[in-house]
Structure 1
Amino acid sequence: MATFVCRVQFLDDTDPFNSTNFPEPTRPPLYTFREDIPFINQLAGVHRLLKAPHKVGLPA
């Protein structure tokens, strides 16, 4: 099982002039992606790790 470790971070760009609601982490955490699992199936884990304020998915 091959893995790829990298730092992950979200950018809350819903209101670019308001940075107080959900401040972005100062030091992005590490996340280990597995190469044998499709990336889309691993996004929920990244979302939980970051405690990102928005739902996973494309904007309507």
Structure 2
Amino acid sequence: MKATKILAVVFGILTICGGIYIFITGGQANAGYAVLPMVFCLTFSSLARKKPKDN
């Protein structure tokens, strides 16, 4: 679970960096630089929130 939280934070930071890059280039860069890391960030954060099942 700790690894998924770390990966969610890393991809969140990459999303912010991608958004800044898009603004710096004046919108000429592809929006995928911000969208793709956000998809991974949301995926890992949802995995981190799931509680393990008790057997």
TM-score tier, shorter chain, comes to under 0.3
Higher strand share: 1
Higher helix share: 2
Name which structure has the greater RCO, CA cutoff 8 Å, separation 6+. 2
